[in-house]
């Protein structure tokens, strides 16, 4: 019996690993920013306000005013060489380096996607399936769990699965906020960075992305995960109590968010006579707008404006040796029994 040339042979026997980060606009122009912000701010996991109240605000005000302002902010940190955001640059590099690190698993294929923007989760799941992946490990790149991050990645993944007649088996990576590899990776990165400074920070601040306090009260474990990461990191570093602080950034709207707020904290520290600080972002695996523009830019300026002198932003783990060691460790652990 001759093979039907209209149907290429079906590939099988592979295992996929899909790294998924938050997302990024395709450009800094108004159209690209509007498209990105609309997808992001339409997510019911991110904005829980009833739609009847939220839609007029989003479509009538935010999407008509915010794209231009956000575009300017993105332009200030844009990777002009590749014409893309740093988040896309780093996430791609993480995917490529993970593939190399897993070369001892010849049947494993590593890839990457974005929850908002491109490449989409659905497109990369489909590609992995076409490569013969009968099993796929989905890795939301968020150490601390929140419904606004991890859950919405999983939601989008399952939405894509609904469209498949032939679905692969699926695993999702759980939060790894207390994983020893993650804590050690953060500690090593911090120690290396501080050793290269010409000053010793009096305070080192772990700045996490905030969520509305009401989300926490409804049962989101994010705050608890952030606090445990900070405690374990402090124990690993062996610093005296009080030197390492946890704060929350990136709030918007009138609602109360998790506190203490990063910007208000550095301002108060400066007023209290603290002259030197360093800030890092343990909830972000890659540097992005919230770290490069908000922390290294706005928060640094606020610290100095209120009397502070020396400020250093400690980069995210990104695709560094420390960062890739964390990702590889978590992936190998979660692939057990599949490879």
Report H helices in the chain: 30-41, 51-57, 63-77, 86-101, 121-130, 152-162, 180-195, 213-217, 222-237, 262-271, 300-305, 321-334
Q: Is residue 1 part of a domain?
A: no
Pick from 171, 183, 287, 280: nearest CA to 225: 183
Pick from 255, 247, 16: nearest CA to 137: 16
Residue 78: CATH number of its domain: 3.40.50.1400
Q: Coil, strand, or helix at residue 252?
A: coil
CA-only gyration radius of the chain, Å:
21
Q: Is residue 68 part of a domain?
A: yes
Claim to verify: residue 168 and residue 185 sit in the same structural domain: no
Q: Is residue 238 part of a domain?
A: yes
Claim to verify: residue 74 and residue 184 sit in the same structural domain: no
Alpha carbon of residue 154 to chain centroid: 14
Q: Is residue 131 part of a domain?
A: yes
Claim to verify: residue 206 and residue 141 sit in the same structural domain: no
Claim to verify: residue 161 and residue 215 sit in the same structural domain: no
Q: Is residue 198 part of a domain?
A: yes
Given a cut of 50, the residues of the chain with pLDDT beneath it are 1-2
Claim to verify: residue 217 and residue 191 sit in the same structural domain: yes
**Structural domain boundaries, residue 66:** 14-175+327-334
Q: What is the pLDDT of residue 4?
A: 55
Q: Is residue 132 part of a domain?
A: yes
Claim to verify: residue 46 and residue 152 sit in the same structural domain: yes
Claim to verify: residue 40 and residue 131 sit in the same structural domain: yes
Claim to verify: residue 86 and residue 217 sit in the same structural domain: no
Asked whether 95 and 19 are in contact (CB, 8 A), the reply is yes
CA distance 231 to 36: 35
Claim to verify: residue 126 and residue 86 sit in the same structural domain: yes
Neighbours of 146 (CB within 10 A): 25
Report the alpha-carbon angle 141-143-144, nearest 5.
Answer: 120
Q: What is the pLDDT of residue 11?
A: 81
CA distance 300 to 119: 32
Claim to verify: residue 168 and residue 218 sit in the same structural domain: no
Q: Is residue 155 part of a domain?
A: yes
Taking the whole predicted model, whether its pTM rises above 0.85 is answered as yes
CA distance 84 to 232: 35
Q: Is residue 156 part of a domain?
A: yes
Claim to verify: residue 278 and residue 157 sit in the same structural domain: no
Claim to verify: residue 272 and residue 249 sit in the same structural domain: yes
CA distance 321 to 235: 22
Q: What is the pLDDT of residue 8?
A: 67
Strand partners, 20: 113, 140
Split into its structural domains, the chain has a count of 2
């Amino acid at each position: 019996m001759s093979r039907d040339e209209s149907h290429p042979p079906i590939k099988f026997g592979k295992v996929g690993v899909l790294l998924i980060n938050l997302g990024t606009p395709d450009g800094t122009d108004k159209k690209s920013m509007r498209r990105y912000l609309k997808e992001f701010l339409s997510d019911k996991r991110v904005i829980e306000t009833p739609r009847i109240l939220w839609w007029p605000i989003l479509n009538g005000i935010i999407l008509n005013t915010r794209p231009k302002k956000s575009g300017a902010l993105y332009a200030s940190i844009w990777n002009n060489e590749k014409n893309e955001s740093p988040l896309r640059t780093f996430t791609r590099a993480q995917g490529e380096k993970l593939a190399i690190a897993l070369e001892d698993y010849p049947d494993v294929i590593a890839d990457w996607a974005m929850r908002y923007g491109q490449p989409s989760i659905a497109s990369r799941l489909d590609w992995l399936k076409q490569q013969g992946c009968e099993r796929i490990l989905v890795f939301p790149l968020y150490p601390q769990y929140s419904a606004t991050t991890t859950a919405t990645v999983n939601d989008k993944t399952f939405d894509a699965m609904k469209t498949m007649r032939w679905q692969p088996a699926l695993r999702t990576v759980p939060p790894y906020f207390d994983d020893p590899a993650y804590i050690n990776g953060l500690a090593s990165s911090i120690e290396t960075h501080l050793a290269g400074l010409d000053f010793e920070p009096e305070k080192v601040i772990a700045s996490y992305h905030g969520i509305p306090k009401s989300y926490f009260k409804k049962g989101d474990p994010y705050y608890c995960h952030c606090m445990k990461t900070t405690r374990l990191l402090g124990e690993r570093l062996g610093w005296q109590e009080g030197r390492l602080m946890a704060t929350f950034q990136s709030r918007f709207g009138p609602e109360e968010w998790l506190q203490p707020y990063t910007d208000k904290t550095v301002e108060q520290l400066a007023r209290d006579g603290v002259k030197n600080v360093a800030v890092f972002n343990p909830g972000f695996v890659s540097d992005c707008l919230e770290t490069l523009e908000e922390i290294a830019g706005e928060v640094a300026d606020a610290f100095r404006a209120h009397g502070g002198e020396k400020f250093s932003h400690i980069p995210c783990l990104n695709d560094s040796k420390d960062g890739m060691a964390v990702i590889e460790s978590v992936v190998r652990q979660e692939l057990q029994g599949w490879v």
